[in-house]
Structures are given as structure tokens and as C-alpha cells.
Amino acid sequence: MAYRILEEECTACGLCADACPSGAITEDGEVFVIDADACDDCGSCVDECVNEAIVEA
């Protein structure tokens, strides 16, 4: 199952994008988003998010 970023919780720090080995996380305006098709469900981004803004989709 892919993950998604809760827009209201994201502070656009970029830690999740840096941690993503598949490059599925990109900046979209003032927040980051996860491309569900590119996400390999590894959970690396969840571990890096200090705001707990990443949840299962």
C-alpha cells in the first residue's frame, strides 16, 4: 500500500523526499506529495517525517 502526505501537517522540510529511495516524493507548491505509482511502500519517508504527516493511502 502506498503512502500519502497530509497536506495540513506537512511543513515542506523535505526530509521525506531525501529519504525516498524511489524518488516518489516531490515538492508541489508549499508541500510535498507522493506519487503512488512510484512509491515502493518501503516506509522510509514515514520514519523521517518529524510531523507524522505521512500515512498509508
Q: Residue 51's pLDDT is what?
A: 96
Segment 8-54, tens digit of pLDDT: 999 999 999 999 999 999 999 999 999 999 999 999 999 999 999 99
Residue 55 has pLDDT above 80, yes or no: yes
Cα–Cα distance between 38 and 30 in angstroms, integer? 21
Number of domains comprising the chain: 1
Which residues, 6 or more positions from 42, have their beta carbon under 8 angstroms from its beta carbon? 21, 22
Domain range for 34 is: 3-56
The whole-number pLDDT of residue 1 equals: 76
Per-residue model confidence (pLDDT) at position 29: 94
Q: What is the CATH number of the domain that holds 35?
A: 3.30.70.20
Residue 11 pLDDT: 96
